[in-house]
Structure 1
């Protein structure tokens, strides 16, 4: 019996705006400068009312990484 290890697939994150990206480029920044080396996760629903979003300079709702390498 052969046991295969599942590879962990990490979402890509834009290095410019830290937003999680589905494709090969960020639709917000129009850049392909993406990374899979990131930590922390932030979900912003209403950036106008969120003190955390204001502190992180986030203007659009979405999912963001806290630290991107």
Structure 2
């Protein structure tokens, strides 16, 4: 069975299941309880990135519980 991706509760960055802390913000508060994600390639020109307050490219969860 495939491992569940983890998401940072602070910045919503989606990380590998073996990760201990978020490489984006440094938080160790990671969860498997999230839904949907968006890939942001160019946050400086993305309207979605502005609404989500994202400054780094990557995968971000839309809903984190």
Q: TM-score, normalised by structure 2?
A: 0.88
**How many angstroms apart in 1 are the aligned matches of 2:49 and 2:24?**
16
Name which one, 1 or 2, has greater alpha-carbon Rg: 1
**5+ residue gaps, structure 2:** none
2:53 maps to which of 51, 57, 60: 57
Task: Show CA shifts across 1:21-60 (max 9, x none).
Answer: 1211101221210000000110000001111111111110
**5+ residue gaps, structure 1:** 1-6
**How many angstroms apart in 1 are the aligned matches of 2:44 and 2:52?**
12
Aligned length, in residue pairs: 63
